[in-house]
Amino acid sequence: MAVQKISISDFIAQRTTEKIFDVRSPGEYNHAHIPFANTLPLFDDEERKQVGTTYKQKSREHAIKYGLDFFGPKMRAMVEQAEKETGHHSGDPKNIFVHCWRGGMRSAAVAWLLDLYGFNVSIIDGGYKAYRNWVLQQFEKEYDFKIIGGYTGSGKSIMLREIEKKGKGIIDLEAIANHKGSAFGGIGMPDQPSQEMFENLLAMQLHLKQHNTIWLEDESQRIGIVNIPHPLWNTIRKMPVYFIEVPFEQRLENIVLEYGPLEKDKLITSIVRIQKRLGPLETKTAIGHILENDLKECFRILLQYYDKTYEKGLHNRESLDTLLNRIPFVTDQKTCTETLCAI
């Protein structure tokens, strides 16, 4: 069966469980890739650099010949890797997708090899570049968002997960970003994705849930080192906010339970990171409470700071009076979830 080409829109629409092989270099893949794609690099980072230099300084033909010197010895290993990852065996050809940066020579070479071996191969036309264009288009669309609001420590993340259990559509921005949103939000979390990878993951979530109401947690535009893309951010800020009114002392208890077990030195480092906004006296006092093992009083200072920050962000919306819906807190987050799900 000949190698086929598939447009990015058809790829997005048709893909189910078929494997995607990204044949770009490891550096390109590690920076960002199509979600669920497997890396099957034609060249390593240094080889890619050398082939690219040959292409620029000599010719396309010289670059191809130079690249073949690298490709030849890898052919068997690449076939075996694809075979292992797909469960391919004779008489049961597997459908796979292959792409490089623009759907050019690298994907053509690997597609030829895997087709020769017996895979049913489709090259993504336009490659990863076409996918990135698709990603950016997702942030320009209109969505039916509903926003869970509330001061820090209100349990918004808990309510978001409970809403999901009720069968409602959600997107957990903090889970995609690997960060809980505050100066302390990265402690104990995996490394954050690059901005590009964050966008790739977010776009796929938006695409899968675009025809339903999507619940989000109220966030700042910046979550750790990544940012919610500006067009999407503008859409989010126009959506109704359901503000859970959790009492201060209840939120303080929640914060102590969540962040109290973390390492003291990391808590102190995070406090130092916001000292210009927190103020010198509050910074010194908060650190002093940590050193004295009085975490509750430390977090009391921090919670007051974050309440002011959240209040400013909440009111920095146009037509807030028509968007803001206050929900009284009753006993716990799960009970509040019932109210939200009934909206």
Catalytic residue positions? 100
DSSP structure class, residue 312: H
Please name which of 218, 235, 205, 208 lies closest in space to residue 144, comparing C-alpha atoms: 235
Label residues 142-167 b or e (16+ Cβ within 10 Å = b).
Answer: ebebbbbbbbbbbbbbbbbebbeeee
List the beta bridge partners of residue 120. 95
Task: Show the tokens assigned to 270.
Answer: 């995070």
Beta bridge partners of 1: none
226 near 186, Cβ under 8 Å? no
Burial call 108-134: b when 16+ CB within 10 Å, e when fewer:
ebbbebbbebbbbbbbbbbbbbbbbeb
Please classify residue 97 by burial: count the beta carbons closer than 10 Å to its beta carbon, then call 0-12 exposed, 13-18 middle and 19+ buried. buried
Query: Strand, helix or coil at 151?
Result: coil
CB under 8 Å to 269, separation ≥6 — which residues? none
Reading the block at residue 70, the tokens are 């690298």
Residues sharing a CB contact under 8 Å with residue 33, sequence separation 6 or more, in sequence order: 22, 24, 39, 128, 197, 200
Alpha helices, H only, the chain: 8-14, 26-31, 45-57, 60-86, 105-117, 127-138, 156-165, 173-177, 195-209, 230-236, 248-259, 264-273, 275-278, 280-291, 295-315, 320-323, 333-341
